[in-house]
């Protein structure tokens, strides 16, 4: 997951519960039975993180767990290291999909947990730590907990459940393909097991066991931005003999701040344009011949996405030209908007509220991005967030996702199991043949 906008997460409205009584007791009882195993799995994944498209041991452990549960099919090596598990109920019915991501991040862990990662690897030529700093360890453990619950209930399941364990959500390395997009390209939703809906979750540092979601655009599209400003190199004492790309780049950055704040109708949807890196020159008394900037564009409306791209190109080019420089703008379209199907979200709101013990809430959109979006473009999807704050009185340092201090409270795991189990079973039951 790309970076979250935490300031928005605590404005919410409680959703009235909708009955899911047929499955509640069984799910609750079986979740309690399997929670200790799920916690142990989460700790194992956390202590043994692997980067995107390199989740070899992670995938092997997941496949082993699914086979031990008697899954009808376990397919490995999808999109490099992905795993698909197929659990067929004893009664006829449709197919529903549940997804968890598998990859960790190049982050050196600083939590001090007894099961903290000590794994290191080479990342872009530099040795670095590897950590589940975005909670994917919890996602995998929760989904394996759901696998246990639904395996125990398979005699009553009206249909089929597809379990998707997806690599490289944080992006594949180098020029490789990966993630949900590659899994779809390799056909996971093709054929007779094409699901009618897909569900997933993401942990975040919010109140433990709370669930947050929204219909329609829940998480933003994420596009890569690169701007190369070209000038004319000269001596730093005689700038009039050249064109200063650093001063020009400053004009470009300042002008880009007006794209969203002055050129877009942000009453329609929020948007963000950020320059995150800037590099140019190698000596204080030399005006260099170029500057490279990179950044990110976040949007929640497809039409605004196209317009913002156009305005960034026009604005950057014009700003550089006022200084005599040129600007070459590259925009690489990344993850689409993560859209929660409004009808599906309304139908399943009561299940989420039950699973969270009446602590499910609708929130404003989040400017982070998720490649669950590709799955939800193929079939109706519902993606939600699960709070994992420490217990009250715990004074540990806690960071947001992607921080070396990111922390998952194991007490939230049963809520995730109940939620995904309840969503799958209630969706299947509502569509089972008469």
Is 29 found in the same domain as 117? yes
What was the pLDDT predicted at 14?
37
Report the distance separating Cα 402 and Cα 131, nearest Å. 9
CA distance 43 to 62: 14
Residue 103 annotated as catalytic: yes
Same domain for 200 and 343? yes
CATH code: domain of residue 138: 3.40.630.10
165: nearest Cα among 280, 78, 39, 290? 78
Does residue 20 sit in the same domain as residue 162? yes
Domain boundary pick from 304, 332, 360: 332
pTM of the model: 0.91
Q: What angle do CA 71, 408, 80 make, to 5 degrees?
A: 45
Residue closest to 149 by CA, chosen among 420, 345, 339, 346: 420
CB atoms within 10 A of CB 70: 9
Q: Are residues 298 and 365 in the same domain?
A: no
Q: How many domains would you assign to the chain?
A: 2
65 and 136 both lie in a single domain: yes
Same domain, 15 and 154: yes
Q: 233 and 349: one domain? A: no
Helix axes 56-68, 21-47, angle to 10 degrees: 140
Give me 245's structure tokens.
Answer: 């790309």
Q: Are residues 302 and 393 in the same domain?
A: no
- With beta carbons less than 8 A apart as the criterion, state whether 217 and 336 touch: no
Question: Which of 267, 302, 332 lies at the terminal end of a domain, its last residue?
Answer: 332
Distance CA 338, CA 370 (A): 7
Is 1 part of any domain? no
What is the distance between the alpha carbons of residues 390 and 380, in angstroms, rounded to a whole number? 33
CA distance 63 to 74: 7
Residues 134 and 271 occupy one common structural domain:
no
Last residue of a domain, one of 278, 312, 332: 332
- CB-based contact 198:381 (threshold 8 Å): yes
Residue 289 lies in a domain: yes
Integer Cα distance of 343 and 256 in angstroms: 37
Handedness of CA 333, 337, 338, 343 (dihedral sign): negative
Q: pLDDT truncated to tens, each residue of the chain (434 aa)?
A: 544 443 333 333 333 333 456 799 999 999 999 999 999 999 999 999 999 999 999 999 999 999 999 999 999 999 999 999 999 999 999 999 999 999 999 999 999 999 999 999 988 889 999 999 999 999 999 999 999 999 999 999 999 999 999 999 999 998 999 999 999 999 999 989 999 999 999 999 899 999 999 999 999 999 999 999 999 999 999 999 999 999 999 999 999 999 999 999 999 999 999 999 999 999 999 999 999 999 999 999 989 999 999 999 999 999 999 999 999 999 999 999 999 999 999 999 999 999 999 999 999 999 999 999 999 999 999 999 999 999 888 888 889 999 999 999 999 999 999 999 999 999 999 999 87
Known catalytic membership, residue 169: yes
Domain of 292 in residue numbering reads as: 221-332
DSSP string for residues in 93-114: EEEEEEEEE---BS----S--T
Per the residue annotation, which of 50, 55, 137, 169 is the catalytic one?
Answer: 169
Q: Which of 50, 55, 103, 223 is catalytic?
A: 103
Residue 398: per-residue pLDDT: 87
Nearest residue to 269 (alpha-carbon basis) of 296, 311, 300 = 300
Q: How many residues comprise the chain?
A: 434
Element holding 56 (H helix, E strand): helix 56-68
Q: How far apart are CA 343 and CA 431, in angstroms?
A: 14
């Amino acid at each position: 997951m790309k970076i979250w906008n935490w300031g928005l997460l605590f404005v919410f409205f409680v959703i009235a519960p909708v009955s899911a009584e047929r499955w509640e007791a069984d799910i609750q009882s079986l979740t309690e039975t399997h929670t200790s195993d799920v916690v142990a799995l989460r700790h194992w994944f956390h202590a043994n993180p692997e980067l995107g498209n390199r989740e070899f041991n992670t995938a092997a452990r997941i496949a082993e767990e699914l086979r031990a549960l008697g899954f009808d099919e376990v397919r490995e090596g999808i999109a490099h290291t992905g795993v698909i598990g197929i659990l067929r109920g004893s009664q006829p019915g449709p197919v529903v999909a549940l997804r968890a991501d598998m990859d960790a991040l190049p982050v050196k862990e600083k939590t001090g947990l007894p099961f903290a990662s000590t794994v290191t690897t080479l990342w872009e030529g530099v040795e670095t730590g590897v950590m589940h700093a975005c909670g994917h360890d919890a996602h995998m453990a929760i989904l394996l907990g759901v696998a246990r619950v639904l395996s125990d209930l398979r005699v009553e399941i009206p249909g089929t459940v597809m379990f998707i364990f997806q690599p490289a959500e944080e992006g594949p390395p180098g020029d490789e393909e990966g993630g949900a997009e590659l899994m779809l390209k390799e056909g996971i939703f093709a054929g007779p097991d094409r699901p009618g809906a897909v569900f997933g979750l993401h942990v975040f540092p919010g109140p433990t066991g709370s669930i947050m979601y929204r219909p329609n655009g829940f998480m933003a599209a994420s596009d890569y931005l690169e701007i190369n400003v070209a000038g004319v190199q000269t001596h730093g004492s005689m700038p009039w003999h050249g064109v200063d790309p650093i001063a020009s780049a400053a004009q470009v950055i300042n002008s880009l701040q007006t794209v969203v704040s002055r050129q877009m109708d942000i009453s329609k949807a929020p948007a963000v344009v950020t320059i995150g890196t800037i590099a140019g020159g190698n000596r204080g008394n030399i005006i260099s011949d170029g500057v490279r900037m990179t950044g990110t564009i976040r949007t929640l409306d497809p039409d605004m996405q196209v317009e913002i791209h156009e305005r960034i190109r026009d604005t950057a080019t014009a700003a550089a030209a006022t200084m005599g420089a040129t600007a070459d703008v590259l925009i690489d379209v990344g993850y689409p908007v993560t859209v929660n199907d409004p009808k599906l979200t309304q139908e399943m709101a009561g299940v989420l509220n039950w699973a969270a013990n009446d602590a499910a809430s609708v929130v404003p959109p989040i400017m982070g991005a998720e490649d669950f979006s590709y799955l939800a473009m193929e079939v109706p999807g519902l993606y939600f967030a699960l709070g994992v704050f420490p217990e009250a009185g715990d004074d540990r340092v806690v960071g947001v996702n992607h921080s070396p201090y990111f922390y998952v409270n194991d007490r939230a795991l049963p809520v995730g199991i109940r939620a995904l189990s309840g969503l799958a079973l209630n969706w299947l039951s509502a569509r089972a043949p008469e």
